[in-house]
Structure 1
Amino acid sequence: MCASMRNFQPSPAEGQRASVRFPLAAVALAAACLAQHAAAQSVPLSTTVVTATRSETPLDETLADVRVITEAQISNSAGRSLAEVLQRFAGVQMSSNGGRGNTQSVYIRGSKQVVLLVDGVRFGSATLGTPTLESLPLEAIERIEVVHGPASALYGSDAIGGVIQIFTKQGKGVKQAFVPHAALTWGRAGYKKADGGFAGEQSGWNYSLNMARVIDPGFSATNRKSAEFRSDADKFNQTSVTAALGYAFNADWRLDANLMRADSYSEFDQDYIFMPDWSMPLVNGSYNEFRAATSQLKLSGRLSANWNSTLSVSRSNDKQRSHHRLEGRTDRYQDLFQTEQTEYKWGNEIKTPVGVVVAGLERLEQQIASSERYDHKDRSTNAAYAGLNGSHAAHSWQLNLRRDDNSQFGGYNTWGIGYGYEVLSGLRARVARASSMKAPTFNDLYYPMSGNPNLQPESSKGNEIGLDWSVGGHEFKLTGFDNKVKNLISWADDGTGMWFPFNIDSARLKGWSLGYSTQWQGWDLSARYEHLDAVDGKGQRLTDRLPEHQATLSVDKRIGAWKFGTSALYAGKRTDKQGTVDLGGYTTMDLHAEYQFAKDWAVQARVANLTDKVYETAYGYNQRGRAGFVTLKWTPR
Structure 2
Amino acid sequence: MKNFDSFSLEGTSARACARFPVAAVALAALTLSQSAVAQDARMPTTVVTATRSETKLDETLADVRVITQEQISNSAGRSLAEVLQRFAGVQMSSNGGRGNTQSVSIRGSKQVILLVDGVRFGSVTDGSPSLSSLPLESIERIEVVHGPASALYGSDAIGGVIQIFTKQGKGAKQAFAPYASATVGQSAYKDASAGFAGAQQGWNYSLNVARVLDPGFSSTNAKSGSFNADKDKYHQTSVTAALGYAFNDAWRLDANLMRADGYAEFDNGATKASWVDSDAGTGQLKLTGKVNDIWTTSLSTSSSSDKLRSYDRALATKVLTDSLYQTKQKEYKWSNEFKTPVGIAIAGVERLEQKVNSTTEYDKTKRTTDAVYAGLNGSYDRHSWQVNVRSDDNSQFGRFETWGIGYGFQLLPSLRAYASRGKSINAPTFNQLYWPADPMWGGGGNPNLQPEEGRNTELGLHWTLDGHAFKLARFDNKVSNLIVWGTTVENIDHARMKGWSLGYSKSLDTWQFAASYDYLDARDSLGERITRRMPKQQATVSVDKTWGAWKLGANALYVGNRTDLFGYPSKKVVLKSYATLDAYAEYKFAKEWAVQARVANLTDKEYETAYGYNQRGRAGYLTLKWSPR
> TM-score range, shorter-chain basis?
over 0.9
Instruction: Give 2:332's aligned residue.
Output: 344
SS of the counterpart of 1:304?
coil
Q: Would the aligned equivalents of 1:44 and 1:519 in 2 still touch at CA under 8 Å?
A: no
User: Which residue of the other structure, out of 366, 374, 394, is the alignment partner of 2:382?
Assistant: 394
Number of the residue aligned with 2:94: 96
Contact 1:10–1:492 (CA under 8 A) maintained in structure 2: no
Say whether residues 1:126 and 2:117 are aligned partners: no
What per-residue deviation string (whole Å, max 9, x for no partner) do you get for residues 155-184 of structure 1?
000000000000000011111000000111
Does the Cα contact within 8 Å between 2:362 and 2:436 map onto a contact in 1?
Answer: yes
Q: How does 1:166-185 map to 2 (within 5 A)?
A: 166-185=164-183
Residue 77 to residue 42, structure 1, CA distance change in 2 (3 Å): closer
CA distance in structure 2 between the aligned counterparts of 1:107 and 1:32, rounded to whole angstroms: 25
Q: What letter corresponds to residue 616 of structure 1 in structure 2?
A: E
Separation in structure 2 between the aligned mates of residue 142 and residue 478 of structure 1, nearest angstrom? 27
1:512 matched to 2:512: no
Instruction: Specify the alignment match of 1:31 in structure 2.
Output: 30
Measured at CA, do residues 43 and 200 of structure 1 come closer, stay the same or move farther in structure 2, by a change above 3 Å? closer
Residue matched to 1:497 = none
1:576 pairs, out of 529, 544, 564, with 564
Note closer, same or farther for the CA distance 1:633–1:223 as it changes in structure 2 (3 Å cut). same
> Which one is further off, 325-334 or 199-208?
325-334
Unaligned runs of 5+ in 1: 35-40, 272-281, 494-499
Matches within 5 A, 1:46-65: 47-65=45-63
Summarize the Cα distance change of 1:43–1:10 in structure 2 as closer, same or farther, 3 Å threshold. closer
Q: 2:456 aligns with which of 459, 462, 480?
A: 462
Q: Distance in 1 between matches of 2:161 and 2:479?
A: 17
Query: Do the aligned partners of residues 148 and 597 (structure 1) sit closer, same or farther apart at CA in structure 2, a change above 3 Å counting?
Result: same
The aligned residue for residue 274 of structure 1 is none
Verify the 8 A CA contact 1:575 1:582 in the aligned structure 2: yes
- Give 3-state SS (helix, strand or coil) of 1:580's partner: strand
Using the alignment, how far apart are the partners of 1:236 and 1:322 within structure 2?
14
- CA distance in 2 between counterparts of 1:558 and 1:192 reads 27
Q: Which runs of 5+ in 2 are unaligned?
A: 34-38, 438-443
Q: How does 1:408-423 map to 2 (within 5 A)?
A: 408-423=396-411
Change in 2 beyond 3 A, CA 1:537/1:169: same
Q: Structure 1: how far apart are the matches of 2:546 and 2:626?
A: 19
Q: How does 1:416-435 map to 2 (within 5 A)?
A: 416-435=404-423
Contact 1:154–1:385, Cα closer than 8 Å, also in 2: yes
Q: How do 1:156-235 residues align onto structure 2 when only pairs under 5 Å count?
A: 156-235=154-233
- Structure 2 counterpart of 1:368: 356
Q: Does the CA contact (< 8 Å) of 1:27 and 1:528 recur in 2?
A: no
- In the TM superposition, residue 328 of structure 1 has moved relative to its aligned partner by 3.2
Aligned residue number for residue 276 of structure 1: none
What is the one-letter code of the residue matched to 1:482? D
- Whether 2:621 is the aligned partner of 1:629: answer yes
Task: Tell me, yes or no, if the aligned pair for 1:222 and 1:621 is still in contact at 8 Å.
Answer: yes
CA drift of 1:235 comes to 0.1
Separation in 1, partners of 2:519, 2:83: 19
1:483 to 459, 477, 482: 477
Question: How many Å separate the matches in 2 of 1:432 and 1:26?
Answer: 23
| Deviation digits for residues 38-97 of structure 1 (CA, Å, limit 9, x no counterpart) | xxx998866110000000001011001000000111111111111110010000111000
**Which of 581, 587, 593 is 2:579 aligned to?**
587
Aligned residue identity for 1:600: E
* Residue 556 in structure 1 maps to residue 550 in structure 2: no
Q: CA deviation at 1:12?
A: 3.2
Cα contact 1:126–1:366 (8 A) shared by 2: yes
Q: In the aligned structure 2, how far is the partner of 1:33 from the partner of 1:102?
A: 32
The TM-score, its normalising length taken from structure 1, stands at 0.93
- Corresponding residue SS for 2:187: helix
State how far apart, in whole Å, the 2-side matches of 1:44 and 1:269 are: 40
Counterpart of 1:88 in 2: which secondary structure? Answer: helix
Q: Deviations over 1:394-421 (max 9, x none)?
A: 0000000000000011010000000000
The percentage of counterpart residues that share the same residue type is 64
Residue 36 of structure 2 is matched in structure 1 by: none
TM-score, length-scaled by structure 2? 0.94
The answer to whether the aligner puts 1:14 opposite 2:10 as a matched pair is: yes
Q: Give per-residue Cα distances to partners, 1:411-456, cap 9 Å, x unaligned.
A: 1000000000000111000000011000011111111242211111
Quote the Cα distance in structure 2 between the aligned partners of 1:139 and 1:567.
Answer: 20
In structure 2, how many angstroms separate the alpha carbons of the residues matched to 1:381 and 1:354?
31
- The AA in structure 2 aligned to 1:118 is V
Could you say which residue in structure 2 is the equivalent of 1:444? 432
Q: Deviations over 1:594-620 (max 9, x none)?
A: 000000000011000000000000000
Cα deviation for residue 31 of structure 1 reads 2.5
Q: How many angstroms does 1:6 deviate by?
A: 4.0
Partner of 2:440: none
C-alpha distance in structure 2 between counterparts of 1:354 and 1:386, whole Å: 14
Question: Which 10-residue stretch deviates more, 41-50 or 127-136?
Answer: 41-50
8 Å CA contact 2:114–2:121 kept in 1: the answer is yes
Following superposition, the deviation at residue 23 of structure 1 comes to 11
For 2:230 and 2:352, the matched residues in 1 are separated by 42
- AA aligned opposite 1:521: D
CA–CA separation in structure 2 for the residues paired with 1:69 and 1:255: 27
Q: 2:370 aligns with which of 382, 404, 420?
A: 382
Q: Note if contact 1:15-1:576 (Cα within 8 Å) is conserved in structure 2.
A: no
Cα deviation for residue 504 of structure 1 reads: 1.5
Q: CA 1:518/1:170 → structure 2, altered by over 3 Å: closer, same or farther?
A: same
Partner of 1:496: none
Do structure 1's residue 473 and structure 2's residue 462 form an aligned pair? Answer: no
Q: Which amino acid aligns with 2:513?
A: L
1:603 corresponds to = 595
Instruction: Find the residue that maps to 2:486 and give its secondary structure.
Output: strand
Deviations 1:355-380 (A, max 9, x none): 11011000000011000111111110
CA positional deviation for 1:293: 0.2
Q: CA–CA distance in 1 between the matches of 2:293 and 2:427? A: 39
Partner Cα separation in structure 1 for residue 501 and residue 119 of structure 2: 29
Using the TM superposition, give the Cα deviation of residue 202 of structure 1 relative to its aligned residue in structure 2, in angstroms.
0.2
One-letter identity of the residue aligned with 2:30: A
| Equivalent in the alignment of 2:516 | 528
Which region of structure 1 is more displaced relative to structure 2, 323-332 or 188-197? Answer: 323-332
Once residues 112 and 348 of structure 1 are traced to their aligned partners in structure 2, the CA distance between those partners, rounded to angstroms, is 30
State the Cα distance separating 1:329 from its structure 2 match. 2.4
Q: Aligned residue for 1:277?
A: none
Match of 2:314 in 1: 326
Residues 26 and 527 of structure 1 are in contact (CA less than 8 Å); yes or no, is this contact kept in structure 2?
A: no
| Superposition CA RMSD, Å | 2.0
CA distance in 2, matches of 1:245, 1:158: 31
Question: C-alpha separation between the residues in 2 aligned to 1:358 and 1:189?
Answer: 51
Contact 1:140 1:210 in 2 (8 A): yes
Q: CA deviation at 1:28?
A: 3.7
Structure 1 counterpart SS, 2:259: strand
- Confirm or deny: 8 A CA contact 1:298 1:310 kept in the other structure: yes
User: Partners in 2 of 1:43 and 1:590 — Cα distance?
Assistant: 21
Distance in 1, Cα, partners of 2:493 & 2:5:
16
| Alignment partner, residue 113 of structure 1 | 111
Aligned to 1:355: 343
Give 3-state SS (helix, strand or coil) of 2:81's partner.
Answer: helix
